[in-house]
Homo-oligomer: A and B are copies of this chain.
Amino acid sequence: MSQQIIPKPLGRLIQDFCKLPGIGEKTASRLALNILRRPQAEAKELAAALAQLHNSIQLCSCCFTFSENDPCAICGNPKREASLICVVEQPGDLLAIEKAGNYAGHYHILHGVLSPMDGIGPAEIKVKELEARINSGTIEEVFIATSSTVPGEATASFLIDFLKKKPIRLTRLACGIPMGMDIKYADKHTLARAIEGRSETR
């Protein structure tokens, strides 16, 4: 298709949307055309939200989540258990755990996972900052909640090995059958982990 047919400002927006994760050319076109069909005020609002995004958000100097304030709303909340730290890959994982609604401890955001192929070792993610928090002496439990993907598992294994000599309790997110799932549709690896991690009935 001749590039002429797509107006340049529309093509530019489509290209920009294509850079976002999970947005291919078709979705990008659909979004851009939808925005074009709607009032200009909505596009301006979205533009303003994007332009201001980085300005007032920083990393919490304690847990490294995105926050407007330092310390963040969680690290600065005296009602949360400061002796318990949940280690996650990204700020989005923190939001997911907060939504679950039954975790009242603090967090530590690694900002990545170990990935030797991409040159990401322990020095590239917030591991020494985690060690410093543990060395401060107030931490009793480190709860590792990396994803159950290959790099997530590798990162968890590394952390377990790295922290095993510390005088703390090391725990991990349970792996098993998702709620509401029929056992016969679970993949064998998930089922194996669910069997391995089976718990006593009350």
**Within the assembled complex, what's the spacing in Å between the Cα atoms of A46 and B13?**
7
Number of copies: 2
- State in angstroms the CA–CA spacing of A131 and B67 once bound together: 57
What is the bound-complex CA distance between A29 and B66, given in angstroms?
13
Which of B34, B36, B54 is in CB contact (< 8 Å) with A36? B54
Least CB distance, A199 to chain B, in whole angstroms: 27
Are B16's CB and A68's CB within 8 A?
no
- The 8 Å CB contact of A9, one of B42, B52, B74, B95, is B52
Q: Check A21–B50 contact: CB distance below 8 A.
A: no
**Complex interface: chain B residues within 8 A of A30 (CB):** 21-22, 92
Most buried by B among A20, A48, A50, A67: A50
Contact of A66 among B23, B36, B42, B56 (CB under 8 A): B36
With a cutoff of 8 Å between Cβ atoms, the chain B residues found around residue A91 in the complex are 33, 36
Interchain residue pairs with CB less than 8 A apart (13): A2-B98, A5-B94, A7-B67, A7-B68, A9-B56, A9-B57, A16-B46, A20-B31, A21-B30, A22-B27, A29-B92, A30-B92, A36-B54
